[in-house]
Amino acid sequence: MGFQYKTVLMVGATSGIGAAMADRLVHEGAKVIAVGRRQDRLDAFIQKHGSEKASSKKFDVTDQDGMDGFVTDVTTTHPDIDCLFLNSGLSIPIDLSRPSKTDMSSFHKQITTNFTALADLSVKFLPFLMARKSETSIIFLSGYSASKAALNSFVMCLRDELKESSVKIIEIWPPVVQTELHDYAGEKGRSMGMPVDEFTDKAFKGMISGVDQVTIGAVGPQEAFTELVQKRQTAFENLSTIMRAHPLI
């Protein structure tokens, strides 16, 4: 089975997992519209793959005021988008054991980039995706920090709300991956974790398998971590069943 979506809007495509996954999706036959803040890297992506397979749009996901215009522009220019891949994220170490030295601006920057902006984008793209006659999807990269854990809770809610719609919600849980996300750790940063090509290969195989939650790698033993993720999802589904029996709105 191949990747079923033909035109992917990859948000956070100029580095790390997003850049590697954008390359892989083009290789597998999809057209990819790369989104990111760095124009030189967007231009390099198009030069690498050619304008028939690759396109780009410069946008910073933290630009709340410009988000509606971005969504309108990109869906008008590319009305064939059938997959929204929300990958953007950052990692800034915060030591909560020393509250007097805690930089809460960095904390909120991560929450905005890794959670709030992605939740906003998914909701703003939904009318467009739901209007498509064929199945569409939103793919989230989550799981590697507190802000991404918040995203995971949002994803489970969104999936539950949309289970009768034509929009499939897919979530990828990555391990630590060797990318520039960890440059804060100095020279050793990019040697931490799973090689990005190995991760991309496993993620792609998971996406084409048809599951809606792809867990790759682990924090601790793989089996125990996978069991924890599955139990969390089951607990949410049980809670959702109870809440649907007693609707508040």
Distance CA 86, CA 83 (A): 10
Residues recorded for the chain: 249
pLDDT < 70 stretches in the chain = 1, 144, 180-192, 218-222, 224-225, 236, 247-249
Distance CA 54, CA 50 (A): 6
Which tokens sit at 237? 């589904």
- Per-residue pLDDT tens digits for 79-96: 999 999 999 888 778 888
Residue 16 Cα distances to 36, 119, 197, angstroms: 12, 21, 10
Which tokens sit at 208? 């084409």
- Per-residue pLDDT tens digits for 125-165: 999 999 998 999 999 998 767 888 889 999 999 999 999 99
* Side-chain-facing half-sphere of 134: CA atoms under 13 Å: 9
Residue written as token pair 């800034």 = 92
Can you say how many angstroms the Cα of residue 228 is from the centroid of all Cα atoms in its chain? 21
Q: Please name the residue ranges forming H helices in 162-247.
A: 196-208, 222-245
